[in-house]
Structure 1
Amino acid sequence: MKCGKRSRSATMVAAVFMVMAGPVLAQTPPPQNVGVIELQPQPVARVLDVPGRAVASEEVAIRPRVGGIISEILYRPGTPIDAGTPMFRIDPLVQQAAVTQAQSNVVSAEAVVRQARTSFERAERLVGSGATQAEVDNLRATLDQAEAALAGAQSRFQMSELELSWTTVSSPISGIASLASVTVGDLVAANQQAALATVTRLDPIEVDLLEPAVRLQRVVEESRTGQLRQADELTATLTLESGRQYEARGELVAPGTSVSMSTGAIEMRFRFENPEGLIIPGMFLRGRIVFGESDVFLVPQTAARRDQTGAITVMVVEDGHVVQRALTATGSQDHHWIVPEGLEPGTLLIVDALSRIAPGMEVVPVPATVGEDGVVRPTPQEAPSGN
């Protein structure tokens, strides 16, 4: 009986020691190693990516200035033509007849002037001996009327010649001619509403870029406060619908002067060289406007999380612990978010092991690098020198 009691007592004492020793023997996991980069502000072009649409720098509707029957179509649709190139010919018989009649009226008026001048000069010589001053004055008035009639006849003759020249319809600008809306034999009228064709100039081409007024106001404010160093000239680049970067750089033609009531955007027009005709009117494009340069932080996109509102969050190391930061990006560049504020020079941004950490955790920062492709790579450690 005594042996049994001693055995149970020893077991209880052992259990008490095990409970007391438990917290002492448990091991706390070591701090997590995380890859970090040290952020420093750097000059970056201040750009805004906006939608745009191409418009012709020049476009003219070809309409007849005289009426008649189309007798010839003198151009090939879709080919470049120069200013002054004949495009249509209207049957000129009516206008030629008008020229002949106007010319005969001029000849008749010239004869009347000659007769009136002869009578006036004769009467002027015979004043006091065979003609009165009143007769001279009447003959002078007759001469003036004849000269006025001659001037009118000459003007009508010039107008008839001009209308005859209008029977050949030419392009006033250089560009690409469209399909004709008429065929040989069609009757056209002077200054009709329907155009015979259109000629569009494609080089240079102009692009309307639609910039949200709110973002443009932010750029203006940054310029006023000195955060933005303005460029000497406002320029833009384009991305085609195929995703190809357009090589030419555009210059500002006209800044926006009003805000659209439907979109809240300001329309800014830029002109681009277009020698190959890659851009045609009506084409939708993506534009990037360069406003100047500002000092910002470049945050790798792989190190940030972005929500539906556009805000991004990152993890940084402060005093050996993970801290979450909410930031606002104004754009992107080469797999990086452009962040103008919310960070300090020397901030240790966590770029690796993000899935294994949470705010408040103790971590050990390990230097890392982010390549141009946005991939995180560990920074090679220098080998210790030996003797």
Structure 2
Amino acid sequence: MFQTSPANRPRLGLRTFGLISLLSCALFALDAAAQTGPGGPPQGPVSVGTITVQTVDVPYVRTLPGRAVAYETGEIRARVSGVVEEILYAAGDKLKPGDPMFKIEDTTYVAAFASAKAALAGAEVARDTAQATVDRYKTLQGSAVSKADLQTAQATAAAAVASYAAAQAAVDVAQLDLDRTIVRSPISGIAGIPSVSVGALVTANQADALATVTRLDPIYIDVSDSSAGMLRVRAQIDDGSLKLGTKVGVALVLEDGTTYDGQGTVVVLGNVVSATTGTFDLRVQFDNPKRLILPGQFLRVKLTLGSTSAKLVPQRATGRTSDGTLTVFVAKDGVAKKVALTSSGTQDNAWIVTGGLEDGDLVIVDGLTNLRDGAEIKPVPVTIDADGVVHDAPTPDAASPDTAKPEAGKPAATGNN
């Protein structure tokens, strides 16, 4: 029978002891993990940043879509027929009323004016001759001239006066036609690109315009508002929740989202509601010295009607439920509670909240990641700047390095929005 040598027995015992030690360590680690649980060691209250909300007077603003419309637009047309001899302006020129724009061939009109003047001179001679005859017949009446001859001379003189008046009118018409060979701007504005070139034949009062002149300063913005929105505003005025201001503030938001530098005025309030869209129109006016606003642009107009009492809640602190309800977490008794809000719009980076919060409530604005309703929290006062960035609230004595930070749960003095 094969027997193990004495030299091999201790070596086999050491290997067995090592395996037993490794197995014991593994079992101890599994037992510790089972006792601790999958979430690790128990967690304490989570620190969250809070601000204190208070009721304030918030401007009541309605943001409405609008479209820019030129203050004046003149379509330039020829009043006489002829060939365009010269274009007397350059596209983009700033014109005044009466500035020349086109010159139409005037040879025919010069000749017509000369002919009319000649006819007027002949009519003037005939009128004077007829009147002289009447004067002579009056002195000879009863001797060499009968009463019938005098009446005939008077009738001839009257006809000569009428002929003279007609000749004078013909001269005036000929002068107008001659003047109209120079086509002038009827308004102040910016000249557009001519639609005809030199040598083109144009006709009097043709349908196609030779060019356009557009006045851009000031400029109109036509705005549409719903009749339902108008009724809501009137209801808020009636119940006192909306206090009207002394005048309507009018601001303009450009297509790139920037606010136009300047305040507008309301020109016309619409008094008819569209049967197809349910909206009514109003027109506002803005100064436009830099021609930044051009006709046809789609813009947004902000009408500040007055003020309403509400609370401002930063948008970063809010969320939406599946049905679209606006919600926020509020710190109460060391616990986070989710609250449903009602709002009437936005101001800067905050919601205008009209229901769901009370004065002095601590709204959680920071530390919202994975925050659940009913979670234990430790409120820390913070502030939010105009860009929506959260900062620690200043201590009562910021100059003293030994001053303690505000206690959890106490509202920060600068935390109100």
Per the shorter chain, which TM-score range? 0.7 to 0.9
Q: Which runs of 5+ in 2 are unaligned?
A: 1-40, 397-402, 406-417
**Separation in 2, partners of 1:320, 1:218:** 39
Per the TM alignment, residue 163 of structure 1 is displaced from its structure 2 partner at its CA by 1.0
The amino acid across from 2:307 in the alignment is E
The amino acid across from 1:145 in the alignment is A
Per the TM alignment, residue 137 of structure 1 is displaced from its structure 2 partner at its CA by 2.4
Is the 1:69–1:187 Cα contact (8 Å) retained in structure 2?
yes
TM-score, structure 2 normalization: 0.78
Q: Does 1:91 align with 2:105?
A: yes
Write out per-residue CA displacement over residues 280-337 of structure 1, whole angstroms, 9 at most, x where no aligned residue: 1111222222212222210111111136876412233456655433323222223101
Q: Does 1:134 align with 2:151?
A: no
The amino acid across from 1:279 in the alignment is I
Per the TM alignment, residue 64 of structure 1 is displaced from its structure 2 partner at its CA by 0.5
CA 1:101 to 1:298, structure 2 compared with 1: closer, same or farther past 3 Å?
same
Q: Residue 194 of structure 2 corresponds to which residue in structure 1?
A: 180
**Separation in 2, partners of 1:110, 1:162:** 21
Is the 2:250–2:303 Cα contact (8 Å) retained in structure 1?
yes
**Separation in 2, partners of 1:319, 1:63:** 79
**Separation in 1, partners of 2:83, 2:76:** 16
**Please, which of 224, 239, 258 is the counterpart of residue 210 of structure 1?**
224
**Separation in 2, partners of 1:206, 1:262:** 24
For the aligned residue pairs, the C-alpha RMSD in angstroms reads 2.7
Q: For structure 1, which segment, 122-131 or 272-281, has the greater mean C-alpha deviation from structure 2 after superposition?
A: 122-131
* Higher gyration radius (CA): 2
Per the TM alignment, residue 111 of structure 1 is displaced from its structure 2 partner at its CA by 1.3
**Separation in 2, partners of 1:28, 1:147:** 119
**Separation in 1, partners of 2:186, 2:321:** 55
Is the 1:69–1:186 Cα contact (8 Å) retained in structure 2?
yes
Secondary structure of 2:208's counterpart equals coil
Is the 2:63–2:303 Cα contact (8 Å) retained in structure 1?
yes
Q: For structure 1, which segment, 51-60 or 32-41, has the greater mean C-alpha deviation from structure 2 after superposition?
A: 32-41
Per the TM alignment, residue 92 of structure 1 is displaced from its structure 2 partner at its CA by 0.5
**Please, which of 248, 258, 268 is the counterpart of residue 244 of structure 1?**
258
Q: Residue 334 of structure 1 corresponds to which residue in structure 2?
A: 348
**Please, which of 254, 264, 278 is the counterpart of residue 264 of structure 1?**
278
**Structure 1 residues 293-372: aligned runs within 5 Å:** 293-306=307-320, 311-317=325-331, 322-359=336-373, 365-372=379-386
CA 1:244 to 1:295, structure 2 compared with 1: closer, same or farther past 3 Å?
same
**Separation in 1, partners of 2:243, 2:180:** 56
TM-score, structure 1 normalization: 0.84
Q: Does 1:232 align with 2:246?
A: yes
Identical aligned residues as a percent: 41
**Structure 1 residues 1-40: aligned runs within 5 Å:** 34-40=48-54
Is the 2:395–2:404 Cα contact (8 Å) retained in structure 1?
no
**Separation in 1, partners of 2:122, 2:112:** 15
CA 1:308 to 1:97, structure 2 compared with 1: closer, same or farther past 3 Å?
farther
**Separation in 2, partners of 1:231, 1:300:** 26
